[in-house]
Structure 1
């Protein structure tokens, strides 16, 4: 693949062999074998994906653990290959139900959020923010795509949209990861630490978006362990997220040709508990 050869030439690497691990949406990842060592080369064809280059540098500057960056170009990262690490391993499905791993992931998220507040305050104006998708236009799009125009919850949300959106705009922002799943996770082989990688969706937001994203993905005991280790969160952020995340997630789902299975529970919510969540948020503002 020419792009891989081009990036290796920029890095001055003589490659014995490589194997493509991923080629999707303009991002190519390949395992590079060179001089009896193995690394991962991640190439970005689209400019919007190149933000991950800056995100690795940002996290390093804030002393937030990442997998090791060996080198980089203007459109590629050369990363350590976790498959050959003596200390780390890649996350597995079983980690989603392991309380010890959940606690270590909470440590990483706490660090991300605590260090992120100051950075976002000074430098975060132009960063990706999922809350930007909470618009009346996107609500109208969801209603039409899902044929739920008559749901009373939508009428209530539209009636109080500007009040809710004002509260959303004023919510304190920090760095948020936004893409939790075990396939993006690295765990120490002795379970002494864990971290997330793949920072294409790293951006700014209120911290509870990450808390919800992680805790809802983990099994019961692991989810409790994560929340116990993470500690307190703002009740207003949870109330906001209970409403805003439904719109943001459904909008992402509706951009696809067919609404995916993972959005079905939110569709069911539109005619059941969503109106209660809007009422709860209204009472807190």
Structure 2
């Protein structure tokens, strides 16, 4: 176990219990810098004479990301270096600098070499995760139910829209069609802040939302955040994906995103307004019709 040191006052400021630090062999003279504080976990940076590390600590006993890192390591999928782990915390390498191993920036998404390496990482994940084993990883659409859509419709003022009513009624058959598709592990959370660059490769980090799902959905999650040239490079590097997967994923992407939105309904973010408009202008209806035409 690496021996690090941690000032008690900095520990308290970061919201990290001394007990957690002791489990990693941390003592009282390191500097702890808070990075992120969420309802279920905290993240901080630990500075010590041995180096700088990122400490991710979960508040409760439910910390699926810990198991996800172990699963990916077992499958040979490259991830950020895990220095050490306990039952409720991860000690990770720090990629916050400008060295050979670093977090990506928006500018990196315009580099064809980076995009090609990113496609290679996704292909490796999907190949390693297919077919899924007996893993404690949720299905990507398990939150999507008719009742969830009814609640969403009421919150967003869509409950009387014919297109939304039709979506609720046709959801179960679409989900059944999605379950029949080839399934694999999906990262499900692409963002440039979750992309790291290491010598000769790109890797994704943060596996809180690792799921079982389709390649089409995971690739859509990536390409929707790339520019036209980068999107073309990514898809060409990754290789073909069956049209059926893309057709079935299209309406579920709209419904799933809206069902998961939990923000202020009176102040909708731009992406929610865009999807609501797609419901009202017939876009969702056309996507559902395309699924029906497959069978």
Shift of 1:199: 0.7
Mapped partners of 2:152, 2:280: distance in 1: 14
Mapped partners of 1:94, 1:30: distance in 2: 26
The TM-score normalised by the length of structure 1 is 0.91
Mapped partners of 1:165, 1:83: distance in 2: 40
Mapped partners of 1:85, 1:123: distance in 2: 39
Out of 272, 275, 278, the residue aligned to residue 269 of structure 1 is: 278
Mapped partners of 1:236, 1:21: distance in 2: 41
Is this contact kept in 1: 2:178–2:249, CA < 8 A?
no
Shift of 1:4: 4.5
Matched, 1:117 2:159: no
Is this contact kept in 1: 2:216–2:246, CA < 8 A?
yes
Shift of 1:8: 1.6
Is this contact kept in 1: 2:150–2:168, CA < 8 A?
no
List per-residue Cα deviations over 1:134-168 (Å, max 9, x = no partner): 21111211221111233232233344333222212
Higher RCO (CA 8 Å, separation ≥ 6 residues):
1
Is this contact kept in 1: 2:146–2:169, CA < 8 A?
no
Out of 168, 176, 193, the residue aligned to residue 183 of structure 1 is: 193
The TM-score normalised by the length of structure 2 is 0.88
Shift of 1:109: 0.5
Matched, 1:39 2:53: yes
Mapped partners of 1:77, 1:228: distance in 2: 35
Count of aligned residue pairs for this structure pair = 278
Out of 208, 216, 230, the residue aligned to residue 200 of structure 1 is: 208
Shift of 1:62: 0.8
Q: Which residue of 2 aligns with 1:106?
A: 119
Q: Which residue of 2 aligns with 1:79?
A: 92
Q: Which residue of 1 aligns with 2:78?
A: 65
List per-residue Cα deviations over 1:73-102 (Å, max 9, x = no partner): 111111111135742111112223333211
More helix per residue: 1
Matched, 1:56 2:64: no
Mapped partners of 1:64, 1:283: distance in 2: 37
Structure 1 unaligned regions, length at least 5? none
Is this contact kept in 2: 1:153–1:270, CA < 8 A?
yes
SS at 1:284 equivalent: coil
Matched, 1:212 2:220: yes
Is this contact kept in 2: 1:96–1:217, CA < 8 A?
no
Structure 2 unaligned regions, length at least 5? 1-11
Is this contact kept in 2: 1:38–1:84, CA < 8 A?
no
SS at 1:264 equivalent: helix
Shift of 1:211: 0.5
Out of 238, 241, 250, the residue aligned to residue 230 of structure 1 is: 238
Classify 1:214/1:265 alpha carbon distance in 2 versus 1 (closer, same or farther; 3 Å): same
